[in-house]
Structure 1
Amino acid sequence: MIGIPLVFTAYGPRGDAPLLFLLSIHLPVMTIAATLMFERIEMAEAGHGRMPWGHFARRVSLNIVRNPIAIGIAAGALARWAGLSLDGPFGTIVRELADTAVPCALFALGMSLKRYGLRDHLGASSVIVVLKLVVMPAVVLVMARYVFGLPPVWTGVATVVAGASTGVNAYLIASRAGAGVGLACNAITLSTVAATLTTGFWLSLAGGG
């Protein structure tokens, strides 16, 4: 919710390729990892052994095609392939919806705190925030710049995205699993607030913008 518009603002068109590359890799990897964990937990609770690979592949595929972000990416790709234009009233509607998506999502998450509260998950949420906003971008920056030797723009985009607040996918996965929903909401909310203090630091350190 924050990383994408932040990259567009900081890096402009030069950040499009690395950002889209990261999104296209991140979503299936995250979905596969989450599905694998949930399936292992369910089978362990049921007292079963290893899961059949056919069953696992089917669950992963369903989770990917049902993911709202995957649906949005696929719809955009189809529109581009079909040569559809975002001019005129249709384009105005799409742009206005896009402009309201992030504020509405954050507002909804804020309202969810009324149900789950911050106090019960404050410790765990704080650990997640530190890992997400400090540890993860530091590791990405070191790997991108000193291990893989990526160009400055790619290094900057990767670091900024890694240091962005926890995304809404954490809430979607928790909701589907029926566990950790309150923790996911709190982590997203706290990391969004804390990212206002850490994002500028990673932007200046990573450079490339």
Structure 2
Amino acid sequence: MAEIAGLVLPFFGLIFLGYATARFVDHPGEAMGWMNTFIVYLALPALFFKLVSRTPVDELTRADFILTSVGTTYLVFALIFAVGLFLRRSTIAEATIQGFAGAYGNIGYMGPGLALLAFGEKAAVPVALIFCFENAAHFTVAPAMMAIGGGGKRKLSALLLGIARRIALHPFILSTFAGVAAAFLALEPPAPVQRLIDYLAQAAAPCALFAMGVTLALRPLKRIPAEIGYIVPAKLILHPVLMYLALSLGGTYDLIWMQTAVLLAALPTATNVFVIGHQYGVWQERASATILITTLLSVATVTGLLYLVRSGALPADLFP
């Protein structure tokens, strides 16, 4: 257990330091702009490129793994969406944000750092694949559902162009594709360039986690929505359990790939859910509350999951 604490406490400690700093140091929220720019456009893309470019090409083309992991995430999304729409009588737009709150984990800021700390560099490829394809799906589903619900006012052609642009030009996705190309062509950057990439990659996890803590502090908890009662267990418990079952049923995967996918599914609600809600003026405060509560509770649930993994209580395949 001491090993798990040594792994998890520094990780969540960085989030807490960001939170505490933002609470006690008086800076405007706009001050986070350049930090987020550095993380999204430089540090995390460098990390993805570095790790993916060193991966054998045959590991980068596991369509079965991609379909199973993304399909499981959207099974959770569909379940929460249906509960919101039919039981809570929410609008389509509100149910969509609720669905994302239950299925869209913090795989960008928290995922790479924690997975690499827990499982080593072999976790880089499943992290990159899940991130790229899940976010491509999120970038597509969010505006499409808002358009269906009446929250989007753009023409269909403009909507489709916007979706394609967000997918094609996202820094994480571009850097992953660049890493795939480098792996396929066996290209290695010159030593000075590689050193720069290494510096940026080393800064990715600490900066991302600190920034996440600051972001949570700048969105104080104003009220606890009733939907928390089913969204929180769906995100922190149901999502990883279904991911584990689906991958066990779907085929034979490397142990680290299986563990990485389950860990990413167990992460708390992504801050992007608030961004989507804010963009369309839907469920904003409640999305912020969901992010904060799932992040706090994930200290216990993620620690518990890592303990089960390290103790051998979770076999690589439930149905060998």
TM range, normalised to the smaller chain? 0.7 to 0.9
Q: Deviations over 1:139-172 (max 9, x none)?
A: 0001112343323211111100000111122122
**Alignment correspondent of 1:74:** 174
Give the percent of matched residue pairs that are identical in Structure 1 and Structure 2: 15
Matches for 1:100-179 after TM superposition, within 5 Å: 100-113=207-220, 117-119=221-223, 121-179=224-282
Query: Taking structure 1 as reference, are residues 92 and 151 closer, same or farther at Cα in structure 2, changes over 3 Å only?
Result: closer
**Alignment correspondent of 2:115:** 7
8 Å CA contact 1:156, 1:207 repeated in 2 = no
- Specify the code of the residue in structure 2 equivalent to 1:3: G
8 Å CA contact 1:126, 1:187 repeated in 2 = no
8 Å CA contact 1:35, 1:59 repeated in 2 = no
Q: Quote the Cα distance in structure 2 between the aligned partners of 1:177 and 1:189.
A: 20
Query: Taking structure 1 as reference, are residues 6 and 143 closer, same or farther at Cα in structure 2, changes over 3 Å only?
Result: same
Q: Quote the Cα distance in structure 1 between the aligned partners of 2:165 and 2:200.
A: 30
Does residue 36 of structure 1 match 2:144? yes
Query: Taking structure 1 as reference, are residues 103 and 97 closer, same or farther at Cα in structure 2, changes over 3 Å only?
Result: same
8 Å CA contact 1:164, 1:199 repeated in 2 = yes
Deviation at 1:3, TM superposition (A): 2.3
8 Å CA contact 1:171, 1:181 repeated in 2 = yes
- Stretches of structure 2 that go unaligned for 5 or more consecutive residues are 1-108
Q: Quote the Cα distance in structure 2 between the aligned partners of 1:41 and 1:62.
A: 22
Query: Taking structure 1 as reference, are residues 124 and 110 closer, same or farther at Cα in structure 2, changes over 3 Å only?
Result: farther
Query: Taking structure 1 as reference, are residues 15 and 76 closer, same or farther at Cα in structure 2, changes over 3 Å only?
Result: closer
If asked which structure has higher relative contact order (CA below 8 Å, sep 6+), I would say 2
For these two proteins, the number of residue pairs brought into alignment is 195
8 Å CA contact 1:133, 1:165 repeated in 2 = yes
Q: Quote the Cα distance in structure 2 between the aligned partners of 1:164 and 1:93.
A: 24
Q: Quote the Cα distance in structure 2 between the aligned partners of 1:38 and 1:169.
A: 15
Q: Quote the Cα distance in structure 1 between the aligned partners of 2:130 and 2:200.
A: 27
Deviation at 1:104, TM superposition (A): 1.9
**Alignment correspondent of 1:26:** 134
- Specify the code of the residue in structure 1 equivalent to 2:265: A
Query: Taking structure 1 as reference, are residues 95 and 17 closer, same or farther at Cα in structure 2, changes over 3 Å only?
Result: closer
Compute the TM-score of the two structures, normalised by the length of structure 2: 0.53
Deviation at 1:112, TM superposition (A): 1.2
- Specify the code of the residue in structure 1 equivalent to 2:266: G
8 Å CA contact 1:170, 1:184 repeated in 2 = yes
More helix by share: 1
Compute the TM-score of the two structures, normalised by the length of structure 1: 0.78
Deviation at 1:123, TM superposition (A): 2.2
- Specify the code of the residue in structure 2 equivalent to 1:9: L
